[in-house]
């Protein structure tokens, strides 16, 4: 899979250049290329008019490229001054640490960005926005000419945002080029001079911010036809399998979700990363049990506090990252497939390898899993086939409700349409399917109904006929129906 | 399959090679009664090694095994010397082991504390409590205890037979029981196991309890081999069995390893000393050679995983 293909991007000193795109459009990959974390396999990269081949992270730092990530990468057990000191200069192994100088420099940098943080504070004791300010101080102190900010406001309060904006404007005034990544269009309008939109790993255009309206930006982000062929829905959905009334979980920020999923129906859940979709799935499956609202399964009120309970009630959850906590790569795929049905398949606690193998052989055949046999370790399969093994594990539990979290992430095109066919087939057999996906065409192509989440809430549920890319994206960004208002 | 059980075969091969060279150059190593005695004396440690294998496969460690063993031995010894039947003494030792294991297990599984810290603390606690309580006294055992009152030859056969039975059942169970699968799943990816409806906490707790039970049984099998019992009879046992597990191919990061590797690993390390004697070499080399065997095993692992990940 190519994450980036032929991206052109240009940053001039003293500008704030916004980078915009859907989940997976290639923003993170582009940043990794600019900071030297990834090597591009084509094209050129110039800094200050000089081509730099084979950029490495340390070379990028020397060139004055600094990146502030959403999750600050500081040393929590060191003080602010020590963190800044470490970042500013790569010390020799035996060079003396000049404590007073280091502290003074840190204090000066923090003052410059208007941060009220003591240089002696341990980073562990700082809040997330304070840590981001420390990151910015580091970038400033290292004399960065290019500062990349990856969704810096994601965890900030309104007041902290304004402080951050002031710092960004300050940086711009001092001739620094700022690459600003955010999903919040209003921030882009408030802050950026130019905006480049990425889509499917390609740059689809760079424009001055004031030349575009919000809806035009959304159009640029999503503007593509649903090109792949999706298996069609057939028949009417049956009884309500899952019904949620005001379901929430204070721990993970899911609030007031109302939703019904019927047998034979695929409900897609769209939204930006961090909108609370996976969190909702984790509530439904009892990983982080909900503490508000009512959840009903086939009309019966249930309170699920543990995945085992969820499984016994007929819920299956195929988690987002199959490599992490999904398919166990060291284990044979047959073992992986029976992991959730030990109590059913092996009554009395004794394994029956014959039963296990025939179950695995059936799934390998039915789902078209490409593996040399039931004993093949999970790690020997391709991503798409691992995903099928993960699905098989849950189908083996004979669920009534199947929750899929990013079912085709990192899966190649061929396997993707196969997985789509499998999902539709399962719905046809009467399964209720809740599918989380950041792949907009997939959501639109697969779903009978589309729900959109933002900030932990389910903000919109649409029939397939009324859902299109622009309305879904607008709902996800929180600009539904007000396009252009903030732009003025 | 070959690749998968590579380690089991190599360790067994190394042990076989050692035996073969002894057979050729020092055949008196295989004299009946002394050999039987040597094998019997290794059985308690082998029992404990079964326990530690389960613990390590579930991605935990227990360094309090030696202290548990000592405490169980003293409890069994005192019970027996108080004139109570041998069965009661055995029950007391196993019960004490189970309780100590349950404490470790509860702290690790349900409070989420790191097992190295928990078992370090319980190790020191049991050791020091024992020292204060017994002050180094030897406990003389009544007549009926040695060899379960059966006489040496049949007693030895009973010890070996019992250990072999536990070993075979455990090895079979790790592969053929759902509980065994839970241990591997918990050790490889506890979160994935939880998502699949397996209870990793209960699995971890159970493994520690089993470790305690096996330490208690091991103490009993040790007890019956002598006329008196020292209060520190388990000192160093934990390192011995962890080393055996590591040499036998149990991955210290959990999820991988079989008892069919641990058995030759244990035998290989345990026979360094007698082999040195029979080759007429100074026995001081024992620890150094054992250390080298462990190092060799880990280095071989490191090279193999590096090759396969490249």
Q: Which residues of B touch A332 (CB under 8 A)?
A: none
pLDDT of residue A481: 44
Q: Of B288, B274, B276, B268, give the one whose Cα is nearest residue B31.
A: B274
Structure tokens, B2: 């070959």
Start-to-end CA distance of chain B, whole Å, equals 21
Which three-class secondary structure state does DSSP give residue A319? coil
3-class DSSP state of A258: strand
Nearest to A393 among B179, B196, B199 (CB): B196
pLDDT of A113 higher than 70: yes
CA distances in angstroms from A413 to A335, A421, A424, listed in the order given = 27, 13, 17
Q: What's the pLDDT at A155?
A: 66
pLDDT for the residue B307: 63
Give yes or no for residue B310 having a pLDDT over 60: no
**B17 part of a folded domain:** no
Whether residues B188 and A331 touch (CB distance < 8 A) is answered with yes
Mean pLDDT of A182-186: 79
Q: What DSSP line would sit under A364-418, residue for residue?
A: HHHTT---S-TTSBGGGS-HHHHHHHHHHHHHTT--SEEEEESTTTT--HHHHHH
pLDDT band per the 50, 70, 90 thresholds, residue A261: very high
Q: Which residues in chain A are closer than 8 Å to B59, comparing Cβ atoms?
A: none
Asked whether residue B27 is assigned to any structural domain, the reply reads no
Asked whether A5 and A41 are in contact (CB, 8 A), the reply is no
Q: Residue A90 has what pLDDT?
A: 63
pLDDT digits (tens, 9 = 90+) for A293-349: 999 999 999 999 999 999 999 999 998 876 667 888 888 999 999 988 888 888 888
A 283-312 residues with CB below 8 A of B? Answer: 285, 287, 307-308, 311-312
Write the residue in B178, B195, B255 that is nearest to A325 by C-beta: B195
B175, B189, B256: residue with CB nearest A325 = B189
Say if B88 falls within a structural domain.
yes
Please report the pLDDT score of residue B78 as a whole number.
94
Report the residue of chain A nearest B176, measured CA to CA: A351
Mutate to test the interface with B, among A285, A336, A351, A394 (most CBs of B within 10 A): A351
% pLDDT > 70, chain A: 92
pLDDT at A92: 66
Residue A453 β-bridge partners: A271, A458
Mean pLDDT of A157-186: 84
Listed in sequence order, the residues at least 6 apart from A81 whose beta carbon sits closer than 8 Å to its beta carbon are A102, A103, A105, A106, A107, A119, A120
In what order do the strands lie in the sheet containing A65-68?
A65-68, A146-150, A177-181, A16-21, A194-199, A202-208
Which CATH number does A16-222 carry?
3.40.50.300
Look at residue B129 and tell me if it is in a domain: yes
Q: Do B158 and B150 meet the contact criterion of CB atoms below 8 Å apart?
A: yes
* Domain spans in chain A, listed from the N-terminal domain onward: 16-222, 240-477
Mean predicted confidence (pLDDT) in B98-107: 98
State residue A235 phi and psi, 5-degree precision.
Answer: 75, 170
Cα Rg, chain B, nearest whole Å: 20
Beta-carbon separation of A319 and B176 below 8 A: no
Helix (H) or strand (E) run with residue A245 in it: strand A240-249
pLDDT at A179: 93
Helix pair B65-81, B86-105: axis angle to 10 deg: 150
Closest chain B residue to the Cα of A376, Cα to Cα = B1
Nearest to B196 by CA among A443, A317, A171, A352: A317
What residues of A are in contact with residue B179 (Cβ under 8 Å)?
349
**Domain boundaries, position B115:** 44-261
Partner residue facing B196 (CB), from A312, A340, A351: A340
Q: Which residues of B touch A393 (CB under 8 A)?
A: 196
3-state secondary structure (DSSP) of residue A484: coil
CATH topology agreement for domains A16-222 and A240-477: yes
| Residue B3 is assigned to a structural domain of this protein | no
The pLDDT of residue A483 is above 50:
no
What does pLDDT average to over chain B? 91
Helix, strand, coil percentages, rounded to 5, for chain A: 35, 20, 40
Under an 8 A CB cutoff, do B197 and A340 touch? yes
The per-residue pLDDT for A226 is 46
Q: What is the pLDDT of residues A344-379, one digit of tens each?
A: 888 888 888 889 999 999 999 988 888 888 999 888
Contact between B178 and A351 using a beta-carbon 8 Å cutoff: yes
| pLDDT score recorded for residue A359 | 92
CATH assignment, A240-477: 3.40.50.300
- By a Cβ cutoff of 8 Å, what residues of chain B touch chain A? 175-182, 184-185, 188-189, 191-199, 255-256
Rounded to 5 degrees, φ, ψ at A290 are: -75, 155
Cβ-count burial of A347 within 10 angstroms (0-12 exposed, 13-18 middle, 19+ buried)? exposed
pLDDT > 90: percent of chain A = 27
pLDDT bracket for residue A144 (50, 70, 90): confident
Q: Look at A143-147, A232-236, A258-262 and tell me which has the smallest mean pLDDT.
A: A232-236
Contacts of A285 in chain B (CB under 8 A): 195
Q: Is A51 helix (H, G, I), strand (E, B) or coil?
A: strand
Collapsing DSSP states into helix, strand and coil, what is residue A316?
Answer: strand
Strand partners, A460: A452
Burial readout B175-206 (b: 16 or more C-beta within 10 A, e: otherwise)? ebbbbbbbbbbbbbbbebbbbbbbbbbebbbb
Q: Quick one: DSSP state of residue A349?
A: G
Could you tell me if residue B269 is inside a domain? no
Instruction: Give the range with max mean pLDDT: A21-35, A204-218, A238-252.
Output: A238-252
pLDDT at A239 over 50: yes
Cβ of A307 within 8 Å of Cβ of B188? The answer is no
Chain A CB contacts of B196 below 8 Å? 307, 311, 339-340, 393
- Average pLDDT on A112-122 reads 84
Do the chains contact at A349 and B181, CB–CB below 8 Å?
Answer: no
> Is B225 within the bounds of a domain?
yes
């Amino acid at each position: 899979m190519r994450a980036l293909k032929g991206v052109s991007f240009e940053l001039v000193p003293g500008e704030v250049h916004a980078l915009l795109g859907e989940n997976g459009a290639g923003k993170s990959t582009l940043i990794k290329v600019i900071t030297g974390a990834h090597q591009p396999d084509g094209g050129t990269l110039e800094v200050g008019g000089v081509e730099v081949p084979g950029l490495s992270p340390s070379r990028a730092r020397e060139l004055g490229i600094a990146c502030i990530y959403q999750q600050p990468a500081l040393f929590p057990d060191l003080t602010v001054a020590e963190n800044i000191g470490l970042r500013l200069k790569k010390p020799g192994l035996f060079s003396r640490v000049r404590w007073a100088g280091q502290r003074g420099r840190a204090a000066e940098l923090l003052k410059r960005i208007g941060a009220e943080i003591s240089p002696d504070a341990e980073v562990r004791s700082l809040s997330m926005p304070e840590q981001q300010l420390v990151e910015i101080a580091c970038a400033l102190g290292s004399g960065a000419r290019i500062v990349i900010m990856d969704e810096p406001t994601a965890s900030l309060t309104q007041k902290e945002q304004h402080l951050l904006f002031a710092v960004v404007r300050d940086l711009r005034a001092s001739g620094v080029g700022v690459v600003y990544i955010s999903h919040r269009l209003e921030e882009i309008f408030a802050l950026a001079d130019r905006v480049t939109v990425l889509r499917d790993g390609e740059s689809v255009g760079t424009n001055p911010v004031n030349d575009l309206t919000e809806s035009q930006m959304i159009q640029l982000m999503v503007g593509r036809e649903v090109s792949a062929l999706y298996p069609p829905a057939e028949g009417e959905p049956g009884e309500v399998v899952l019904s949620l009334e005001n379901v929430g979980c204070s721990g993970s920020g899911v609030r007031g979700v109302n939703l019904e999923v019927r047998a034979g129906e695929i409900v897609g859940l769209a939204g930006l990363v961090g909108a609370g979709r996976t969190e909702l799935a984790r509530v439904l499956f009892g990983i982080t049990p909900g503490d508000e609202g009512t959840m009903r399964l086939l009309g019966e009120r249930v309170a699920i506090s543990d995945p085992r309970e969820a499984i016994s009630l007929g819920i299956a959850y195929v988690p987002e990252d199959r490599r992490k906590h999904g398919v166990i790569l060291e284990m044979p795929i047959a073992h992986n497939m029976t992991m959730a049905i030990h109590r059913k398949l092996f009554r009395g606690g004794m394994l029956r390898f014959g039963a296990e193998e025939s179950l695995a052989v059936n799934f390998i055949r039915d789902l078209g899993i490409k593996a040399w046999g039931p004993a093949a370790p999970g790690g020997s399969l391709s991503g798409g086939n691992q995903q099928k093994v993960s699905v098989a594990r849950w189908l083996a539990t004979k669920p009534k409700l199947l929750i899929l979290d990013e079912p085709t992430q990192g899966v190649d095109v061929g396997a993707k349409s196969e997985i789509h066919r499998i999902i539709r087939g399962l719905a046809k057999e009467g399964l209720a399917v809740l599918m989380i996906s950041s792949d907009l065409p997939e959501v639109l192509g697969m779903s009978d109904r589309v729900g959109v989440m933002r900030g932990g809430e389910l903000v919109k549920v649409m029939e397939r006929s009324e859902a299109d890319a622009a309305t879904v994206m607008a709902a996800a960004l929180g600009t539904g129906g007000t396009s252009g208002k903030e732009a003025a | 399959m070959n690749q998968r059980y590579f380690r089991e075969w190599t360790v067994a091969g190394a042990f076989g090679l050692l035996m073969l060279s002894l057979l050729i150059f020092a055949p008196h190593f295989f004299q009946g009664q002394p050999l039987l005695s040597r094998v019997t004396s290794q059985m308690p440690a082998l029992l404990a090694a079964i326990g530690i294998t389960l613990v390590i496969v579930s991605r935990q460690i227990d360094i309090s095994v030696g202290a548990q063993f000592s405490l169980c031995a003293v409890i069994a010894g005192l019970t027996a010397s108080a004139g109570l039947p041998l069965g009661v003494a055995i029950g007391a030792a196993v019960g004490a082991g189970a309780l100590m294991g349950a404490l470790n297990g509860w702290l690790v599984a349900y409070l989420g504390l790191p097992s190295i810290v928990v078992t370090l603390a319980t190790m020191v606690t049991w050791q020091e409590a024992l020292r204060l309580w017994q002050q180094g006294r030897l406990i003389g055992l009544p007549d009926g205890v040695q060899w379960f009152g059966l006489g040496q030859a049949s007693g030895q056969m009973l010890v070996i037979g019992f250990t072999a039975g536990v070993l075979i059942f455990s090895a079979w169970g790790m592969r053929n029981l759902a509980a065994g699968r839970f241990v591997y799943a918990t050790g490889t990816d506890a979160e994935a196991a939880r998502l699949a409806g397996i209870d990793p906490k209960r699995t971890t707790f159970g493994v520690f309890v089993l470790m305690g039970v096996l330490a208690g049984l091991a103490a009993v099998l040790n007890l019956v081999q002598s006329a008196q019992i020292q209060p520190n009879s388990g000192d160093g046992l934990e390192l011995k069995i962890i080393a055996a597990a590591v040499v036998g191919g149990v991955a210290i990061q959990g999820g991988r390893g079989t008892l069919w590797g641990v058995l030759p690993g244990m035998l290989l390390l345990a026979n360094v000393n007698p082999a040195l004697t029979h080759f007429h070499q100074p026995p001081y080399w024992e620890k150094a050679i054992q250390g080298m065997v462990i190092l060799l095993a880990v280095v071989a692992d490191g090279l193999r995983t590096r090759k396969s990940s490249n």
